[in-house]
Amino acid sequence: MLLIVVLTISVLISFYYTNSAGQYVTAKLNTVSGLLSQYYTDNPATFASRVRLLIEDWDDKERTELMAVSATGTVTMTSSGFAPTREILAQDYTDAVASGSTGFFRGRLPDGEKIVAVSVVTPDTTGDFSVIRLVSSMTKVDRHIRSYIVIISLIGVAIVIFMLFSGMYFVKSIVLPVNKVGNTARRYAKGDFSARIPIETNDEIGELCMIINKMADNLAQSEAMKNEFISSVSHELRTPLTAIKGWAETIEAMPDDTEMTAKGMRVINSETERLSQMVEDLLDFSRMQNGKFTLERGKVDILAELGDAVLIYTEKAKKEGIELVYSEPEDLPIIDNADRNRLRQVFINVIDNAIKYSDRGGLVTVNAAVTPDDIIEIEVADNGCGIREEDLEKVKTKFFRANHIKRGSGIGLAVADEIMQMHGGSIDIKSVFGEGTKVLISIPAVNK
């Protein structure tokens, strides 16, 4: 395209200057033709002398040559002052003679010089000044044309060089980094999150690389948590199944031992309940992931549901040597448009975690109150192992487990947080590692 533009401009410049030279010579000769007509009209006897004087005093000698040609085609006089003897056979002369008026010629002389010439027949058609011819050399014009073409060509070359360097910069600063991003993304698509993109600039590309690297960190962490979750759930499922199977075999082998049978049935019932709860958590998580997690809304007595959750874990806390203290309020509002089972699930999950992460001899407290803004707040606090500060923002993330020693799947709190958000409430966690944790469950009271 650039070559086409340069060639087009060059042709236009050549045409313009060549055409301008022809127009200039033609205009000059038209002026001379007017003077010749006036000379002949004024006095035919003095016509030759006045033409001779016109040629001798020609004021445009630097650019054009004015010459007189006889009826026989011989140059009789020129403005250059050299004695003319040559015969004129140029196209402009022959056309002028043939038409009896004017002729035009643009081309090269036998010696190779490029000219533009115009001839006009004078009123004295039989004398030494029967034709007046004006000639202009195109040497200077061609020199100007070549100069402009060289300049345009140099500009074109400069543009090409600029495009090459800018293209190299574009390739280096954008194409190559984007190519690296694409190659790394393809590795991520195959499940390899170990690759990282080097950040070499501080522009938008560098920011994109940083974001993708952070995304890879999160994906790698999620992948690790998912794998750990699968391993943990497999272990959690295998443990109660092993206990159930073992006690079932024991009871089968000792059917007459009433005490052993009763003990085994208690273990089997306990482990079955544990399995049931784990399966329910997994089903809830699956529904949450598929967008099918729904609520069966109605009026809910928060005080009753919280009391039931505390009652469920009172005996368990005693067995594990943990004191569970419930400061039951006199009254809590009845909430419209809530799911009682899901809210109880939240209370059970939070209380269970508090007991699970407390040591023998620990204390778990449960308090409930209503704020002036009609927000029901339930606080569950323990003096257990606590949560590290860097893990606090992740504890409600699916699969995440802050403590890998205690049993658990890492999805219970994520499900509880989803339930509270669907109720327009929240779960806020504050913790000091080694000192304990406080969980604040907030839910707006629609009706009192």
DSSP assignment string, 6-34 = HHHHHHHHHHHHHHHHHHHHHHHHHHHHH
DSSP assignment string, 286-301 = HHHHHT------EEEE
Could you tell me the sign of the dihedral formed by the alpha carbons of 58, 63, 64, 65, in that order? Answer: positive
Instruction: Tell me if 90 sits within 8 A of 115, measured CB to CB.
Output: no
Length of the chain counted residue by residue = 448
C-alpha closest to that of 25 among 150, 119, 142, 109:
119
Helix, strand and coil in the chain, % to nearest 5:
55, 20, 25
C-alpha closest to that of 197 among 185, 209, 206:
209
Q: Render each residue's pLDDT in the chain as its tens digit; 448 residues.
A: 888 988 999 899 988 888 888 888 899 888 888 988 898 888 888 888 898 899 888 888 888 889 888 888 888 888 887 655 566 667 888 888 888 888 998 888 777 788 889 999 998 877 888 899 899 888 888 888 889 999 999 998 999 999 888 888 877 777 777 788 888 888 888 777 778 878 777 777 788 888 888 888 888 777 776 776 666 666 667 777 887 888 888 888 887 788 888 888 888 887 787 777 777 777 776 776 666 677 788 888 888 888 888 888 888 888 889 999 998 888 888 888 888 888 888 888 889 888 888 888 899 999 999 888 888 999 999 988 888 887 777 777 665 555 544 555 557 788 888 888 888 899 998 988 888 899 999 998 864 4
Give the 3-state secondary structure of residue 115: strand
Distances (CA, A) of 84 to 70, 105, 117: 11, 20, 17
Domains of the chain: 2-145 (3.30.450.20), 204-289 (1.10.287.130), 294-444 (3.30.565.10)
**Residue 273, exposed/middle/buried by CB under 10 A (0-12, 13-18, 19+)?**
exposed
**Residue 96, exposed/middle/buried by CB under 10 A (0-12, 13-18, 19+)?**
buried
Question: pTM (2 decimals)?
Answer: 0.46
